[in-house]
Structure 1
Amino acid sequence: MDAARQWGRRALDFVDAVERLNVPGVVKLFESEIKACGFHAYIMAGLPAPGTALPELTVANGWPAEWFELYTRENFSALDPVPRFGASTVQPFEWSDARYDKEDDPAAHLVMMRATEFRLRDGYCIPMHYDGGGAVISLATEHLHLDPLAKSALQLIGVYAHNRIRSLSRAPEEKRELLTVREREVLRWVAGGKTSWEISVILKISERTVKFHLVEASRKLNAVNRTSAVAKALARGLIKL
């Protein structure tokens, strides 16, 4: 199997596996995958927000305990150039791409230098943006050696791990109350490629009613169209394929 197919298969196997796992299982599998790529530490956390402490924003924490404590105590999230750059881009990037001038921005330089004390010298960051904010998945190593195929696979793996953990961590009643049973049912059929007319036949309701449920679901999810509504519902764990 060539490298492209190998990485593609690995990412798809991960996506398939996490749908059947609980939070500890997802974390364990994610850590195994990034370790195979040379990373020994990571964090999944929301982007810094005024008045919000890092522990409140953290989805999964694989940083050294001492570094996390120091980072939190000194409020390094407000100074760190990596999440700052992550807030401005939708593309994954290497830590070295989060450029700063150490003379003009000594605080950013301090964070990066202190990180090296914990073997966090280089890394790869996957930014995520969704309603109400955003997050970063930051993977750390001492020496980054990652080919483009591995980067693409890690992006898919990271996004699915993050979304699955967020979905499982959200209160069940929040999931149930956001969309009605019928709205979720309609979205599942849309995700399966069915048209409004086909869904009306399957569910034995009018096509107009199907469209009404789609409009309502899109409104609740703040989605611009049915495709966006399906994507957001999947990301939040409201429906499954």
Structure 2
Amino acid sequence: MSRTIAAATSRADVLSALTFAARAFDFSFVTLLVKPVGQDELLGRILVHTTLPSEYIQEYDQNRYLGMCPLVEHLFSSMLPRTWTIDAVERQHAGKLPSDLPRLLRRFGITTTAAMPLHSLEGERFLLRFDGSRPPLELPELNELGMIALHAFDVFEKFRRTERFSVPSPLSARELEVVRWTAQGKTSVEIGQILSLSDHTVNAHMTNAIKKLDCVNRTQLVAKAMRLGLIS
């Protein structure tokens, strides 16, 4: 597996290797997620790659389950791989899970999960998940899968960073300036003073940038701009 990942020539090759690894460990699906921003409650918005059925994602998002899951915040902030079964989660978080969520998971054959927290050089937080209906993982299996995940993500990130620098920025120079200052915590008024613009003009640049990057607010805009390598 390590040789296959090391020999990858594209992000698609890495993702194919992860799909093969999932099957080797008797998992059905593999998913790479980026940490949700602000009040984002849609799984579809934080997916980098997944082999999950589109019907599952649609139903999951229709019910806004992402914002109701008690594990999400902890998983993205953790440094260690974790594994669980839906039965164990139901027992541990009785009364905190939406009643229909376990039924949805079981209907799509997701009863056991292994999750690997990952971090990019820019500080972004990702999560690589393996899902399926296999028995609970033993610690040696989890450790082995964790090493595969780290290696694959390292190679994946190298390709991603290369692609960032080879693709022209979708934002204008002025829009990038506004986003950079926003990332540093400046308000529209403060940015206007720095760039000698009215706050109305600053807000117009911000609105354009939000639309171009398909975001819903400034927080998500800054996070996505960082993820795309448009700002550091």
Give the TM-score range, shorter chain: 0.5 to 0.7
Counterpart pick for 1:90 among 32, 56, 79: 79
**What's the % identity of the aligned pairs?**
15
**TM-score calculated relative to the size of structure 2:** 0.59
What are the equivalent positions in structure 2 for 1:18-33 lying under 5 Å apart?
Answer: 20-33=8-21
Q: Cα 1:81–1:63, aligned 2, differ >3 Å: closer, same or farther?
A: farther
| Cα offset, 1:166, TM superposition | 4.1
| Cα offset, 1:171, TM superposition | 6.3
Counterpart pick for 2:3 among 13, 16, 34: 13
| Cα offset, 1:120, TM superposition | 0.5
- Matched with 1:61 is 50
* Structure 2 residue 70 is matched with structure 1 residue 78: no
SS of the counterpart of 1:165?
Answer: helix
* Structure 2 residue 115 is matched with structure 1 residue 125: yes
| Cα offset, 1:150, TM superposition | 2.6
Q: Cα 1:84–1:116, aligned 2, differ >3 Å: closer, same or farther?
A: farther
**TM-score calculated relative to the size of structure 1:** 0.57
Question: Which 5+ residue runs of structure 2 have no aligned equivalent?
Answer: 168-226, 228-232
Amino acid in structure 2 at the alignment position of 1:125: A
Query: Equivalents in 1 of 2:62, 2:82: separation in Å?
Result: 26
| Cα offset, 1:137, TM superposition | 1.0
Runs of 4+ in 1 over 6 A off after TM superposition: none
| Cα offset, 1:141, TM superposition | 1.4
- Matched with 1:165 is 156
- Matched with 2:94 is 102
* Structure 2 residue 138 is matched with structure 1 residue 150: no
Q: Cα 1:168–1:112, aligned 2, differ >3 Å: closer, same or farther?
A: farther
SS of the counterpart of 1:95?
Answer: strand
* Structure 2 residue 26 is matched with structure 1 residue 35: no
Counterpart pick for 2:35 among 47, 66, 69: 47
Query: Equivalents in 1 of 2:32, 2:56: separation in Å?
Result: 15
| Cα offset, 1:139, TM superposition | 0.8
Query: Equivalents in 2 of 1:41, 1:155: separation in Å?
Result: 16
1:99-135 C-alpha deviation (Å, 9 max, x unpaired): 74322x142x542332111110111111124444412
Q: Cα 1:92–1:117, aligned 2, differ >3 Å: closer, same or farther?
A: same
Q: Cα 1:61–1:111, aligned 2, differ >3 Å: closer, same or farther?
A: same
Q: Cα 1:93–1:67, aligned 2, differ >3 Å: closer, same or farther?
A: same
Contact 1:115–1:121 at 8 Å: present in 2 too? Answer: yes
Q: Cα 1:60–1:163, aligned 2, differ >3 Å: closer, same or farther?
A: farther
Amino acid in structure 1 at the alignment position of 2:94: K
1:21-60 C-alpha deviation (Å, 9 max, x unpaired): 2122222221111101100012110122225443332221
Q: How many residues align?
A: 165
SS of the counterpart of 1:87?
Answer: helix
| Cα offset, 1:76, TM superposition | 1.7
